[in-house]
Structure 1
Amino acid sequence: MKSRSLPLAATTAAIFFLSVAALSVGTAVVEHTFVVSQVNMTHLCRETLVTVVNGQLPGPAIDVTEGDSVVVHVVNKSPYNMTIHWHGVKQRLNCWADGVPMITQHPILPDHNFTYRFDVSGQEGTLWWHAHVPLLRATVHGTFIIRPRHGAPFLKPHKEIPIVIGEWWVEDLAFVDTTAEYNSASTINGKLGDLYNCSGAMEEGYKLDVEPGKIYLLRVINAALLSEYYLKIAGHKFTVVAADANYISPYTTDIIAIAPGQTVDALVVADASPGRYYMIALPNQPPKPDFQSPVLVTRGIVQYSNNHSSGHDELVRGGAGGSSSGDVPMSPEMPDNHDNMISFYFRGNLTSLHHPRHLPVPGRIDERLFITLGLGSVCRQGQSCKRGDNTTDNLIVATMNNVSFQLPTVSTPLLEAHYYNTSNMELLQELPDVPPRVFNFTDLSLIQTGPKEKKLEPTSKAALARRFRYGAVVEVVFQSTALMQSDSNPMHLHGHDMFVLAQGHGNYDMVRDVAKYNLVNPPVTNTVLVPRLGWVAVRFVADNPGIWYMHCHYEFHLTMGMVALFIVEDGPTESTSLPSPPVDFLVSDEYNLQNEKTKLPQINGI
């Protein structure tokens, strides 16, 4: 189907329900080579050594069709250990390719190579890839697009545009102090934008050229380490049609809320008066008494092409949002960066579109988990210590049910140990069904040091894991807490999608809040944002055998230990069991031989 302009009155209705004609094209093998290296980039009057793939920021895009096979050769020319995680790719019966160091594989040593092989059957939409090495995913990342083989349930756009929201750090990310440092700017597609300047010269911003009346699909990805973002384009509206590579009942809004790890597909009609319009990405954050990080807004420009006819002028005359003339683009009115309700309402308005790939919500529940998310403290090096306002004996950690994840000291990745049933698996500690203490989880007085907070703060570190039998239906309620902070938490589950049944503020109440569950058409996602001082209920089917990371996608929470391993046992048949490692997989004996010959710096022990 050719792209075409639509009269304004028909645009909204036509966007959603017209499908591209079915294609009868065979599957393909899509092959890439990723060379990870360090290059010098200059922003904000400072040259920074940056770890990137193929010299690009963002890195190269992977563009495939549902059912294709993907082969990526990673050549590590950086000085750091490296793995690549294919965020949102389910890796069905292929946990070996998930890309988590010492969980699913040995890290790729400097001056060594590794090849990832997997397919993308049963998925379509916008995903992304990134390094699964602490902090380095800020610059080692790129888009991963899976095109539908038989057409998407909305009109084919004139163009598809990736919008990757990220951050710029002037420090070497390998040595950033995760308790004290923040990024220096926000970015759109790697560009800082004209809000930033260097000795009076404006930084370059991202520019999107559009034609009047055309429809554009924005594939929005939050690749930032620290913040959820609000995205707006002056004079234009978004029609959200997918999130985390799952179709959404079309939802029209003037603002997108997107947390780290998430993707949103949104259609934009170029129906404003010809001119120039700012696209602004604003990071939000919890209000005081939480610590306040710098508000680092970035902006690009949507500009109308001058090559339009008078007919196009008539088509867009009087379009939504007014017009912009001259050299100064129109700017959207942005919300307060502390307004978390915009995020809450945006997510509450999302429901799944009826589609053959969307399975019904499972009715039965085999296991229930109630998981609190917060901060705590442990004694450094395991010695005894006393909590005090001025002591340096305590280490601040992030927790799930009051336990902070600590990778066990092993020489074999846990997935390999799990497959061969070695004794390394005995080092894991079970994630409990409920937290050890019940208290007012959202009591704001717990943010600041005081008698109540001091009693609840002490915690422990362990290799936290939970086993599920194959096919089990698992319901998880994530509860944010005010313990030492009150931030939201984007929780990402590898290898599975989750039905997002409900969200709420305050403390979850099973009797009251189960009535709020959407069991008909809840959104389906791989990363769910647990709202600030609130909760979210999800349900998933543990039907992909392997060891899967469940973690917060705020990088500092991840490095501080807000992680658990979800282990899915084999099913009763070969087709429901984890296969043996691929023939070219780097098993422990070969890796240890490599490691003996390699001397390298490590990042947080990885």
Structure 2
Amino acid sequence: MYRHFRVRPHETMLQAMATAVLAVFFIVSATVAPASAAVVEHTFVVRQVKMTHLCKETLVTVVNGQLPGPAIEATEGDTVAVHVVNESPYNMTIHWHGVRQRLNCWADGVPMVTQCPIRPGRSFTYRFAVAGQEGTLWWHAHVACLRASLHGALIVRPRNGASSYPFPKPHMEVPVVIGDWWDMDLEQLDRNMMDGYFADSQTASTINGKLGDLYAGCSSAGAGAGAVEEEDGYVLDVEPGKTYLLRLINAGLYAEYYVKVAGHRFTVVAADANYVTPFATDVVAIAPGETVDVLMVADAAPGRYYMVALAMQPPEPDPQVPVASTRGMVRYRSRSVVPSSNGEDVPAVVPDMPDMHDVDTTFYFHGNLTSLRRPAPVPGRADERMFVTLGVGSICREGETCERSGSNESIIVATMNDVSFEDPPAAAAASLLEAHYHHRDDGVELRTLPDAPLRVFNFTDEALIPWGPVEARLEPTEKETLVRRFRHGAVVDVVFQSTSVMQSGSNPMHLHGHDMFVLAQGFGNYDAARDVPRYNLVDPPVKNTVVVPGLGWAAVRFVADNPGVWYMHCHFEFHMSMGMIAVFIVEDGSSVDSSLPPPPVDFPKCDSEESLAVVQDKFGVQNVLS
């Protein structure tokens, strides 16, 4: 397979040279790839552009000038190659959320954990296979809060085409990305949260990058005094009787969302790129990091119907932070506006939404998920068991003692088993993965994530939610680089227990490089004697992002069979920035095909003096970026 490349008028020389490198890769790859597989090529240019929303111009970091960024579409078994050209002022990595990265931890995209970041003005090509997976995944920056503007869909279709879906073939497939619009510097937002200040709220929510008519734009010139234009909203044109596969993605930083389309029902068919037993519902609950695929039949009367994404938050006494919602439109093509008898347009239909503090609907939505096709049988028993509390604590700004409960002397942090994650230093000589692979120390002190919390108390006591003397004794914690090592092939059970210290929200826990069997969930405190007999070992849902209910728990099981260094974290950005993270290290197996291969030859270096001019790979391409 040969391809011809030329420089387009809008293409930088750096892009063009990077494309030449990819050309060599594609030619060689085509000689070894299976006949049914292909190489899917993308170039992501990360740069800052000015965008105007809410009558304000904001400098936004995006890929290829788009928000959301480009969708990657592949077929199961394909290889994806994405050349990331970093023209932004920030260090950059891209994470391919939900891609299992079998024997390819090097492409997972977590700064200083799996790789040194791509420095401003430099490039790196991510190469990974999408084998043994099909469905809706996504990609996003894994740097500070920049995933709010750097994200997009990653869709893997069946090798035999849409006819092999375990549900009726849809007329059209539609990515629906729910996100945030922020009119502030996102790195400053991250610094605020690392400093324990997380009261910032997004200016608006979006559907496919559009804010919708709940938000006012600029005053409309010539439309009369006081006239204000509405923000554009996402519009899905449908044909009566046709079936649409909506690929829902929550790319937001802060909130779970309830999603409804007025006058229509959904059939849920997949979650996190795993098919589920279909079930009907009029509302989808989706947390940050999750994907949910639903079928929607356009079977309503011709007209216009709002698609609403309502942000959720836990009720008081949990701290109440302003959250934003948005809406788009489902519009029937046969007649986009239905006239009424008096000649006026019939207004669009608005759905009845759950209450924003409703936590039961999301609990039962996720409880309805069961597997339709399991990638493997559920292991019958675990080799290792962990009980991990998810909470909030505080550390002193100076010294070992300080005032707590919101005092400026302390910083609020998020924890796993009472320890907050300390990021590896940006000045380290190599990432944790490189140090692990080469059996080096590299001066980063690691602490083992304990099997159980350091403190035992009534984890769901609502009296601990407000700041004050009751919870103050439970606040003190510490920051460490938390890791947990697993032998290759170990079956691991983890019970995640949400806690009530200073907050009562849910926790969408995301494990890189593996899927998890979700065995059970519940409200209140986990009780092994009561809850283990309830485990679903027959058809549990298989997820990469598991929603742990607020003031509740979730039990998962996974097989540690993918060697490497893998992030486990809450996908609420404020929890991640504040330290609700651990690193799971999976050791090599006993054979070549169960051991991590060496890093790519063009792997980014941490040395800030690294030459921009040299890129050399196994095909002998050299000095192409000079």
Please, what TM-score do these two structures have when normalized by structure 2? 0.86
Which residues in structure 2 correspond to 1:566-585 (within 5 Å)? 566-585=584-603
Corresponding position: 1:254 with 2:273: no
CA distance in 2: counterparts of 1:234 and 1:587, whole angstroms = 51
Counterpart Cα distance in 2 of 1:237 and 1:54: 35
Give the 5 Å matches for 1:455-466. 455-466=473-484
Contact 1:385–1:393 (CA<8 Å) still a contact in 2?
no
The structure-2 alpha-carbon separation of the partners of 1:148 and 1:585, relative to structure 1 and needing over 3 Å to count, comes to: same
Q: Once the 2 structures are TM-superposed, how far is the Cα of residue 365 of structure 1 from its aligned partner?
A: 0.6
Aligned counterparts of 2:424 and 2:298: Cα–Cα separation in 1: 53
In structure 1, the partner of 2:17 is none
Q: 1:53-92 to 2 correspondence within 5 Å?
A: 53-92=63-102
Counterpart among 160, 171, 178 of residue 158 in structure 1: 171
Q: How many residue pairs get matched?
A: 555
| Distance in 2 between residues matched to 1:34 and 1:424, nearest whole Å | 32
Amino acid corresponding to residue 183 of structure 1 in structure 2:
Q
Match of 1:219 in 2: 247
Q: CA deviation at 1:358?
A: 2.5
In 2, the alpha carbon distance for the partners of 1:201 and 1:582 equals 51
SS in 1 for 2:117: coil
- 1:453 matched residue in structure 2: 471
Cα 1:389/1:72, change in 2 over 3 Å: closer
Task: List, as ranges, runs of 4+ consecutive aligned residues in structure 1 with deviation greater than 6 Å.
Answer: none
For residues 483-562 of structure 1, the aligned pairs below 5 Å read 483-562=501-580
1:387 offset after TM fit, Å?
A: 2.2
CA distance in 1, matches of 2:120, 2:510: 28
- In 2, are the aligned partners of 1:500 and 1:537 still within 8 Å (CA)? yes
For 2:615, the equivalent position in structure 1 comes to none
Which residue does the alignment assign to 1:6?
none
Equivalence for 1:289:
317
- Note if 1:183 corresponds to 2:202: yes
Q: Secondary structure at the match of 1:332?
A: coil
> In the alignment, residue 421 of structure 1 is paired with which amino acid?
H
Percent of aligned pairs with the same amino acid: 66
SS at match of 2:46: strand
More displaced, 529-538 or 580-589?
580-589
1:206 to 234, 237, 248: 234
- Structure 2 contact 118–604 (Cα < 8 Å) conserved: no
CA contact (8 A) 1:385 1:394 kept: no
Residues 395-425 of structure 1, C-alpha deviations (whole Å, 9 max, x = no match): 1100000000002332210100000000137
Structure 2 counterpart SS, 1:593: coil
Amino acid at match of 2:355: D
Whether contact under 8 Å (1:85, 1:131) holds in the other structure is yes
Closer, same or farther in 2 for the Cα pair 1:387/1:32, shift >3 Å? same
1:326-385: CA deviation from partner (whole Å, max 9, x where unpaired): 3411011001100010000101111110x3x5211101210000000010001115x233
> Quick check: 1:414–1:425 contact (8 Å CA) kept in 2?
no
In 2, the alpha carbon distance for the partners of 1:449 and 1:226 equals 21
1:360 equivalent in alignment to 2:377: yes
SS of residue paired to 1:174:
helix
Residue 112, structure 1, aligned to residue 125, structure 2: no
2:181 matches 1:168: yes
Aligned to 1:3: none
Query: Who is 1:384 aligned against?
Result: 400
Deviations 1:294-328 (A, max 9, x none): 242210010101279xxxx9xxxxxxxxxxx9341
TM-score by length of 1: 0.89
Kept after mapping to 1: 8 A contact 2:486/2:584: yes
Q: 1:74 to 1:447 in 2, by over 3 A?
A: same
* Corresponding residue SS for 2:92: coil
SS in 2 for 1:175: helix
> CA deviation digits over 1:276-295, x for unaligned, max 9?
10000000000011111224
Pairwise CA distance, 1:391: 3.3
Alignment check: 8 A CA contact 2:113 2:432 kept: yes
Unpaired segments of 5 or more residues in structure 1?
Answer: 1-23, 314-324, 596-606
Q: What is the RMSD of the two structures over their aligned residues, measured on CA atoms?
A: 1.8
- The structural deviation recorded for 1:454 is 1.1
Structure 2, unmatched stretches of 5+, are: 1-33, 220-227, 339-343, 613-626
Does the aligned pair in 2 maintain the 1:66–1:146 contact within 8 Å? yes
Separation in 2 of the partners of 1:391 and 1:119?
Answer: 49
Residue type matched to 1:365 in 2? A
Structure 1 residues 401-420: aligned runs within 5 Å: 401-409=417-425, 410-420=428-438
Q: Is the 8 A contact 2:112 2:424 kept in 1?
A: no
The one-letter code sitting in structure 1 at the alignment partner of 2:397 is: R
Q: Tell me how far apart the structure 1 counterparts of residues 250 and 75 of structure 2 sit (CA, whole Å).
A: 22
Q: Please give the secondary structure, in 1, of the residue aligned with 2:131.
A: coil
Report the secondary structure of 1:557's partner residue.
Answer: helix
Confirm or deny: 8 A CA contact 1:417 1:425 kept in the other structure: no
2: CA distance between counterparts of 1:74 and 1:288? 43
